[in-house]
Amino acid sequence: MRFLMSTTSPSFPSPPPLHQYTIKQPQFIPFQKPTKPHENSVKSQKNSGFLSAIGNAIEEQEYRKARAEVIRKGTGLDGYNIEGVSIGGHETCIIIPEFKCAFDIGRCPPRAVAMNYLFITHAHLDHIGGLPMYVATRGLYSMSPPTVFVPSSIKEDVENLMDLHRKMGQVELNLDLVALDVGDTYELRNDLVVRPFKTHHVIPSQGYVIYSVRKKLKKQYAHLKGREIEKKKKSGVEITDIILSPEVAFTGDTNSDFLLDPRSSDALRAKVLITEATFLDDKCTIEHAREHGHMHIDEITEHAKWIRNNAILLTHFSSRYHIEEIRQAVTKLQSKVSAKVVPLTEGFRSMYSS
């Protein structure tokens, strides 16, 4: 296709005759020592401390920026090195290497792939969306199929989801899918078991408590000597009691009702409680939090007397908050509870970040 354009020459005014120009003689300006901008004002302010105040402010801001960029490799709580990311509505995946397990899978962070056990609390995408990738990546690296625990109410749907991905990708996605209900007990190792407990979200959900298992000699046999104990043991007499100690509890998304539920007592006396605090300030009411199946941090303060944990890891903060706001809210909470309170701030930005 050809485009035809008509052009016209613009009419400019004619330059004046040469005799109308005047030529100015060059002027010579004596040399002066150059001065820096605002040199005089700076000199007058040196003695006032103005520069030192500005310098300190700049240094503090740079320090805060640098601190905000630090990548946290894990949070040590009561003997457990807990890793992960949890941003409300975006992704949640909490990793405990000591148990080789992850709670929820979020977008499948690379570190989670090495975990043999995965506990899904509910079916919202920010908690389960990375499941096919988790299973596929383990297969890619010839790792053993993982064991994935889900509420029984969603097991069939999860099976259908995995079948769909097998069909679309024409790949094998091998996993051991286990449905667990509240009250069930599953043995992970001979010294470790897991039990679900009821949580209160807007869709079916449950939390998990991991227990350590140890055997303790029954009181009636405490006076016996080693040979006598061995003799009774060989004769088939059960000489020990099984002691379950709650180590770590994870709630996933829930409102505060679980704090008042007697069936949650083990979660509230585990060494470490990992729970949510989606909302932190007065811009969101407790009623709003409850309506959406979440907790406001003020509710934890209100029910602090029921909490018997050694440490609490708070997760699932709304993405509206900055690191500094989260830490300020946690500091306020810390004065109200006996447990050590730590926020998981991986993925959040500092208000000083550009």
Looking at residue 215, its pLDDT comes to 82
Query: Cα torsion at 161, 166, 172, 178 (round to 10°)?
Result: 10
pTM comes to 0.77
Task: For the chain, list residues with pLDDT below 70.
Answer: 1-74, 354
- Per residue in 201-212, pLDDT (tens digit) is 999 999 999 999
**Which residues, listed in sequence order, are joined to residue 84 by a DSSP beta bridge?**
94
User: What's the Cα-to-Cα distance from 194 to each of 197, 212, 225, rounded to whole Å?
Assistant: 10, 9, 34
**Are 253 and 274 contacting, i.e. CB atoms less than 8 angstroms apart?**
no
Query: d(Cα 116, Cα 145) in Å, to the nearest integer?
Result: 8
Helix or strand holding residue 160 (H, E): helix 155-169
- Per residue in 219-242, pLDDT (tens digit) is 877 777 777 777 777 777 787 788
Looking at residue 73, its pLDDT comes to 53
Query: d(Cα 104, Cα 87) in Å, to the nearest integer?
Result: 13
Looking at residue 74, its pLDDT comes to 65
